[in-house]
């Protein structure tokens, strides 16, 4: 990825996130060489959102153009008060401040996934499509533990417990944010895989059915057979902030991508809308889950 002075990237790559719902990446944390570069990408994303060039931003934040360019390119640590100034100036929802706090490794959520999680806390709506595994917000402890236990390279017991605790804490969002609309589109095969065994899967289906009763949670199932499917490019998340800004998050095996480009977001929104029409209705989705549960 080229980091020119004013070049714009449609997708910002954050290194290893791995905690949206997956196993946690390689150890659940980004490699050290990524960290400064990723902090710079966070700053650049919000500077672009504010429609400021580096030349315009530098005097406003109180640092030289060279300092700002070096921070955005990941070539130097930010000065102690840079993050606070930048976050306030760019109206960054506290994300830049959070990124600065997590420039070092910590247990639990991967450092760079925390920036997406920070936006989740204040979101107006959150849309999730998942085709690999049950999203983290919907997982049971037993299901999540299976994912972490199966992680390769293997995680230590303390790492597993830390990541499990972080995931369970994040799940409180569904009930602590009753005014946030959560929409999930899940592939039917996620329940048929029997990950962790029959008992784990039965408990998982019961848990997802219980969550579907919440007024702010919509869960739709994409059936195994569909002649048309708008989600073949893989899992994705879309988030709308309180001031109606949209962001996206895409996750691969070894990295996560924070999306802020309007054209890319528009494409993701179109795909999400199409999948909602292609998936089963809310009632039909519940009926299918009950049938899967009864077949066990």
Under 8 Å CB-to-CB from 85, ≥6 apart: which residues? 61, 62
Neighbours of 247 (CB within 10 A): 22
Report how far apart, in Å, the C-alpha atoms of 255 and of each of 38, 112, 118, 137, 245 are: 11, 10, 18, 19, 23
For residues 295 and 3, the model is more confident at 295
Residue 288 lies in a domain: yes
Structural domain range at position 38:
30-104
Residue 63 lies in a domain: yes
Residues 88 and 43 in one domain: yes
Residue 2 lies in a domain: no
- How far is the C-alpha of 232 from the C-alpha of 110, rounded, in Å? 26
Which range has the top average pLDDT, 37-46, 222-231, 254-263?
222-231
- How far is the C-alpha of 121 from the C-alpha of 257, rounded, in Å? 19
For residues 99 and 214, the model is more confident at 214
Name the domain boundary from 59, 75, 104. 104
Asked which of 32-41, 182-191, 284-293 is least confident by mean pLDDT, the reply is 32-41
Nearest Cα residue to 100 out of 90, 85, 89? 85
Residues 234 and 131 in one domain: yes
Tens digit of each residue's pLDDT (9 = 90 or more) over 77-110:
788 789 999 999 999 999 999 888 766 544 445 5
């Amino acid at each position: 990825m080229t980091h020119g002075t004013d070049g714009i990237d449609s997708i910002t790559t954050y290194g290893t996130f791995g905690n949206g719902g997956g196993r946690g990446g390689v150890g659940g944390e980004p490699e050290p060489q990524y960290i400064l570069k990723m902090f710079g990408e966070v700053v650049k994303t919000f500077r672009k959102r504010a429609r400021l060039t580096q030349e315009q931003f530098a005097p406003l934040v109180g640092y030289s153009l060279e300092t700002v360019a070096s921070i955005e390119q990941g070539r130097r640590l930010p000065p102690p008060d840079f993050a606070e100034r930048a976050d306030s100036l760019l109206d960054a929802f506290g994300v830049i401040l959070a990124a600065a706090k997590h420039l070092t490794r910590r247990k639990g959520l991967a450092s760079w996934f925390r920036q997406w999680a920070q936006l989740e806390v204040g979101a107006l709506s959150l849309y999730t499509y998942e085709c690999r595994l049950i999203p983290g917000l919907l997982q049971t402890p037993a299901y999540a533990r299976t994912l972490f236990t199966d992680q390769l390279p293997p995680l230590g017991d303390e790492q597993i417990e830390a990541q499990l605790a972080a995931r369970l804490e994040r799940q409180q969002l569904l009930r602590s944010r009753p005014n946030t609309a959560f929409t999930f589109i899940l592939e039917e095969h996620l329940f048929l895989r029997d990950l962790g065994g029959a008992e784990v899967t039965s408990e998982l289906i019961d848990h997802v059915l219980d969550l579907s009763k919440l007024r702010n949670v919509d869960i739709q199932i994409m059936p195994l057979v569909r002649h048309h499917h708008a989600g073949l490019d893989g899992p994705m998340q879309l988030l709308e902030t309180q001031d109606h800004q949209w962001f996206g998050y895409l996750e691969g095996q070894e990295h996560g991508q924070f999306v802020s480009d309007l054209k890319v977001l528009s494409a993701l929104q179109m795909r999400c809308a199409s999948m909602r029409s292609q998936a089963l209705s809310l009632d039909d989705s519940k009926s299918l889950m009950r049938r899967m549960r009864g077949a066990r």
